[in-house]
Amino acid sequence: MKRIVFSLLTASFACASISASSALADPRAKCGQEPSAPAITATDTAHYNASVDKFQAYEKEARAYNSCVASAAQKEEQAISEDARDRIAKIHAVSTGVQQRIAANFSHMSAELTTAGKKLAKH
């Protein structure tokens, strides 16, 4: 029973950390609300001119928002890349260590067997 409770707690903490890291990964998080595109009305000159003004204001806000999101995304991608590089390096170090130990064991055991074989061949 204790094992089941511990497993459930562990799973819930794991899910919470995954959702928390996913929320942090959203590049829009620090950029505020995305500006809404205005409706264009060109029924007459006054509405057309007002639409042009709304479009220009939207264009300025949208470009700033897009720049913010792109910058935040680039920072997040770089952090993910660095984390992946670090994780890969650790995994590679473990794998290389195992390969080196096994190769050393094979070499040592082969030398021992060769020496023992020569000794036994003399008898």
Residue 65 contacts residue 31 (beta carbons within 8 Å): yes
pLDDT band for position 18 (cuts 50, 70, 90): very low
11 vs 28, more confident: 28
CA of residue 118 relative to chain centroid, distance: 56
pLDDT given for residue 17 in this prediction: 46
Residue 34 contacts residue 66 (beta carbons within 8 Å): no
User: Rg for the chain (alpha carbons), in Å?
Assistant: 32
Q: What is the rounded distance in angstroms from the CA atom of residue 35 to the CA atom of residue 4? A: 48
Close Cβ partners of 41 (under 8 Å, ≥ 6 residues apart)? 47, 48, 50, 51
72 vs 7, more confident: 72
Q: Phi and psi (nearest 5°) for 28? A: -85, -15
Mean pLDDT of 55-80: 97
pLDDT band for position 6 (cuts 50, 70, 90): very low
Mark 51-81 as b/e (b = at least 16 C-beta within 10 Å): beeeeeeeeeeeeebeebbeebeeeeeeeee
